[in-house]
Amino acid sequence: MKAAWQELAEHGTAGLSLRAVARRAGVSHAAPKHHFADRAGLLTALAVEGYAALVERFRTVLDPLSDPVEIIEALGRTYLDFGLTRPDMFEVMYGTEPLRADDPELAAARAYVMSLLSGAVAGVRADRSADGGRPITDPSLMTWAFIHGLTQIARDGSLRRVTGSPGPAETAARAHHLIATFIAWLRLAEHRA
């Protein structure tokens, strides 16, 4: 897996192959097939590791919080920072390369991440063992779409081009400001309800 992450960092998902990973790891070209049936299997295993890393970051920031809007803000900021600081993992998790959708670990990881956000949007503090059984509501999807979309445009340079930010640090700061603005709107909506 270490060799796969190194290969991914240098060549991106499009350039990742089992043969290249085997070469980097110093094993025969057939060795990875014993662990991953094919390239999609390797990418799926990498995505599962990516989700584990994201969840660990979530747990670190969520532990002291109980207010749902604060949780949404912490999730958004953490998601954004993860996408900007771990582009390799983020690309594997959310990119266009095919993953094994029927993989139970991948399905559980995706469901858990969405359950945290869905719980916060519903005003419920999700615990560490959330199973993803909560339905994903339209407000949850809209919140995720905002956070994910913001992360994507911050990563791909679109936000920088549109705002004229001079560099990545300023772009990240602008993205964080947009999350704060979104949270202010949520607070306003909460008080009007």
CA–CA distance, 87 with 81 (Å, rounded to integer) = 10
What are the start-end ranges of the E strands in 53-157? none
Tokens of 62: 């969520």
Per-residue pLDDT of the chain (193 residues; tens, 9 = 90+): 898 899 888 888 888 888 888 888 888 877 777 788 888 999 999 999 999 999 999 999 998 888 888 999 999 999 999 999 999 999 999 988 889 989 999 999 999 998 888 888 887 544 444 445 567 888 889 999 999 999 999 999 999 999 999 999 999 999 999 999 999 998 887 677 6
Q: Which two tokens stand for residue 100?
A: 């094994």
**CA distance linking residue 4 with residue 10, whole number of Å:** 10
- Distant-in-sequence, close-in-space partners of 185: CB < 8 Å, separation ≥ 6: none
Q: Give the containing element (helix H, strand E) for 179.
A: helix 168-192
Could you confirm whether domain 38-192 is CATH 1.10.357.10? yes
> For the whole model, what pTM was predicted?
0.87
Per-residue tokens: 13: 């998902």
